Structure 1
Amino acid sequence: MNLETINAIDALLETPQRIVIIPHKNPDGDAVGSTLALWHYLNDMGQQAKVIAPNDFPKFLKWLPNNEQIINFEKDAASAKELINDATAIFTLDFNHLGRIGELQPLLEEASATFVMIDHHQEPSDYAKIMYSDVTMSSTCEMVYNLIEAHKGISYITPEIAICLYTGIMTDTGSFKYSSTSSRTHIVVASLIEKGANNTLAHSMVYDTNTPSRLHLLGCALKNMVILEEYRTAYITLSQEELDRYDFKKGDTEGFVNYGLTLEGIIFAVIFIENKDEGIIKISLRSEGDFSVNEFARAHFNGGGHNNASGGRSEKSLSETAQYFTSILPSYKDQLTK
């Protein structure tokens, strides 16, 4: 964190604030972990804070301390609107464009509160007065730890804060295997374990609580995998009918896209998931090495994110989206096969 950002946040928090903390739509481990950790910390410091999520989050994160305090906008819009209208400060975590928060977007665009962005994705927009944006960070949870450290609050990290931050770092680094995992990340994680984060529990609760239906859905996804060796690429499709057949629950497809990268020689993996309710195909893209799925998603699928992990969407049908994807790969052959 630079000194200007530290001073700006310190000045904001010198006086009591009515704070709303918001993650992106379909919040993942980093989004839930960072918002809950910041909620714990700010309230422990005497601030008045609430977390409002645009929609629900996966069951495998609902063991995190005080997760039931998160207000789901889809289920309790009235309370959420009242809190946002009354807020003096709004912290937005793990996203950098208001388009990532769904139906909450117009409410935040009209809000008069001071906005603070904490995020590690590329190409941030300029809606926040105070921006802590760093694409080199492993996760937003690592950034929240840095914020607490800069605020001279490390001694106030409780086991509850520690496990929330640990879980977010663990999930956003692929259990510490992604290139964004730095020596600093491991120092932060070591500190969180010392502060009471149960690393074994976090891994077990996130990765070892599968249902039979989720594993059957994974089997379906792997059966659907298409391998394009000439482009060192693999992609998976999942239709709405297949999701329904295997009793899909939010979060069930988490991590499916990564299976393509476990294949020898594959450096680009994508999953296309049909969502009939929203009328779109949701897309997750992963890569290894220098191939930027952030640039690819921005150019073709209205998305973006990180160089090696991004998301996007398509309004074409599932089959048309897959066909379009394969049709543009020849333009990237030199990048994928060098």
Structure 2
Amino acid sequence: MEALASFKREINSPKKIFITTHVKPDADALGSSLGLASYLLKKGHEVTVVTPTDYPSFLNWMKGNEDVLDFSNPTQTELATKKLNEADVIFCLDFSCLSRVNELGELIRKSSAYTVNIDHHQDPEDFADYRVWSTEAAATCELVYEMIVQLGDEKLLDKDIAECLYAGIMTDTGGFRHPNTTKNVHLVVAELLDLGADSSQIANWIYDSNSVNRLKFIGFAISRRLVVHEDLHMAYFAISKKDLKKYQSRTGDTEGLVNYALSLDGIKLAALFSEREDGVKISFRSSSEVAVNKFAADYFDGGGHKNASGGKSTTSLKETVERFESLVEKHQDELFRVAPATVD
């Protein structure tokens, strides 16, 4: 209660506020950041949203997008750093460790500003003065909504904020299909819809804004880069830098590709390996009974949620995939163990 009271004091008078989120922000990361920013602006604060990198163009519709600073853009780095150094309060959204924001992490660590972490990932680093954290939440957007209500400021919520928050909840639940789609998710979403969030339009902006190149890339990936091991209940895509260049891939073009592998009948573990300049980026997805976050943390310097995690590798694409196949085969009994049913 003392921590909550201290947090309320920090934001109840006008402050210079800096908001950031993780590398390559998704809808939950950007939606929670911009939704929170709009709320804080209404409370009279000076607010700056800074992302460590760029993000997909299908998120550009969000209110406040035009004012976001990209720290990785050389023309915006200096201003973003200045805003961070001047901040009274720093909000860190949708990440649990400062390493998830690249160079911004150490700048935040050295800052004397009051720091707030709002997140739903496991194993949080202890870097914040105040934390709104729950692994039971489906999305950081869900936590932002509940925080605003807890502060007694639900009257400040509006259609623009609601749409940002709805987008994050929708995507982090896989369109309300994943096991994290709880009763509370539906209750929060109902309130956001009452505020004017247009569910159909948001789904259109996020899921139906493909370029021709992206559709061709998805077709190519499914027909030429999908590997299925039915005996291991596993499937994956291995995408090279050459593949990405051929289809002029942009940020966000590989989003959701791994789900096609998981959608196959009998598949319990899916992965997407994307070769980048600095190594191989990995996305893992799994069925409800398979805890892929531990696998990602143990072997690929990653982590995340039980059924949706990420990782990385500094070896070649070929070596990374071979290691993945070997590890799945070696640990399949542990990975795919299903708990026995309980008897009442």
The verdict on a shared fold, with TM-score over 0.5 as the criterion, is yes
Shift of 1:155: 1.8
Matched residue, 1:94:
94
What is the correspondence of 1:290-301 to structure 2 with a 5 Å cutoff? 290-301=289-300
Question: For the Cα contact (< 8 Å) 1:23–1:92, is it kept in 2?
Answer: yes
69-78 or 31-40, larger mean C-alpha shift: 69-78
Matched residue, 1:303:
302
Q: How much identity, in percent, do the aligned residues show?
A: 40
SS of the residue corresponding to residue 275 of structure 2 reads: strand
Question: For the Cα contact (< 8 Å) 1:34–1:144, is it kept in 2?
Answer: yes
Shift of 1:153: 1.3
SS of the residue corresponding to residue 242 of structure 2 reads: helix
Question: Judging changes above 3 Å, is the alpha-carbon distance between structure 1 residues 8 and 258 closer, same or farther for their aligned structure 2 residues?
Answer: farther
Question: For the Cα contact (< 8 Å) 2:12–2:43, is it kept in 1?
Answer: no
Shift of 1:42: 0.4
Question: Judging changes above 3 Å, is the alpha-carbon distance between structure 1 residues 8 and 260 closer, same or farther for their aligned structure 2 residues?
Answer: farther
Could you report, residue by residue, the CA deviation over 1:163-210 in whole angstroms, capped at 9, with x for unpaired residues? 100111111111111111111111111111110111111000100111
Question: Judging changes above 3 Å, is the alpha-carbon distance between structure 1 residues 252 and 144 closer, same or farther for their aligned structure 2 residues?
Answer: same
Shift of 1:103: 2.1
Question: For the Cα contact (< 8 Å) 2:14–2:43, is it kept in 1?
Answer: no
126-135 or 31-40, larger mean C-alpha shift: 126-135
From 12, 15, 27, the counterpart of 2:13 = 15
CA distance in 2, matches of 1:26, 1:10: 30
CA distance in 2, matches of 1:111, 1:9: 17
Shift of 1:9: 2.2
Could you report, residue by residue, the CA deviation over 1:93-112 in whole angstroms, capped at 9, with x for unpaired residues? 00010100012122112211
User: Which amino acid in 2 is paired with 1:140?
Assistant: T
What is the correspondence of 1:244-323 to structure 2 with a 5 Å cutoff? 244-276=245-277, 279-323=278-322
Asked if residue 70 in structure 1 is aligned to residue 71 in structure 2, the reply is no
Matched residue, 1:140:
140
Question: For the Cα contact (< 8 Å) 1:231–1:336, is it kept in 2?
Answer: no
Shift of 1:261: 1.4
Question: For the Cα contact (< 8 Å) 2:22–2:94, is it kept in 1?
Answer: yes
Question: For the Cα contact (< 8 Å) 1:5–1:132, is it kept in 2?
Answer: no
SS of the residue corresponding to residue 147 of structure 1 reads: helix
Question: For the Cα contact (< 8 Å) 1:6–1:147, is it kept in 2?
Answer: no
Question: Judging changes above 3 Å, is the alpha-carbon distance between structure 1 residues 66 and 14 closer, same or farther for their aligned structure 2 residues?
Answer: closer
Shift of 1:252: 0.4
Could you tell me which runs of 5 or more consecutive residues in structure 1 were left unpaired when the two chains were aligned: none
Could you report, residue by residue, the CA deviation over 1:13-64 in whole angstroms, capped at 9, with x for unpaired residues? 1232211000101000000000000000001011121101111110000011
Number of residue pairs the alignment of both structures matches: 334
143-152 or 101-110, larger mean C-alpha shift: 101-110
Matched residue, 1:24:
22
The root-mean-square deviation of aligned C-alpha atoms, in Å, is 1.1
Matched residue, 1:219:
219
CA distance in 2, matches of 1:192, 1:4: 30
Question: For the Cα contact (< 8 Å) 1:304–1:312, is it kept in 2?
Answer: yes
CA distance in 1, matches of 2:305, 2:199: 26
CA distance in 2, matches of 1:113, 1:22: 14
97-106 or 196-205, larger mean C-alpha shift: 97-106
25-34 or 152-161, larger mean C-alpha shift: 152-161
CA distance in 2, matches of 1:268, 1:197: 34
CA distance in 1, matches of 2:296, 2:312: 9
CA distance in 1, matches of 2:285, 2:160: 31
Could you tell me which runs of 5 or more consecutive residues in structure 2 were left unpaired when the two chains were aligned: 339-344
Question: For the Cα contact (< 8 Å) 1:232–1:337, is it kept in 2?
Answer: no
TM-score (norm 1): 0.96
Asked if residue 83 in structure 1 is aligned to residue 80 in structure 2, the reply is no
Question: For the Cα contact (< 8 Å) 1:162–1:193, is it kept in 2?
Answer: yes
CA distance in 2, matches of 1:255, 1:9: 36
Shift of 1:331: 2.6
Shift of 1:337: 5.8
Shift of 1:289: 1.9
CA distance in 2, matches of 1:5, 1:148: 16
What is the correspondence of 1:66-215 to structure 2 with a 5 Å cutoff? 66-75=64-73, 76-215=76-215
TM-score (norm 2): 0.95
From 39, 42, 46, the counterpart of 2:40 = 42
Matched residue, 2:342:
none
Question: For the Cα contact (< 8 Å) 2:4–2:130, is it kept in 1?
Answer: no
SS of the residue corresponding to residue 81 of structure 1 reads: helix
Shift of 1:330: 2.2
User: Which amino acid in 1 is paired with 2:298?
Assistant: A
CA distance in 2, matches of 1:34, 1:89: 16
Matched residue, 1:243:
244
SS of the residue corresponding to residue 102 of structure 2 reads: helix
SS of the residue corresponding to residue 57 of structure 1 reads: coil
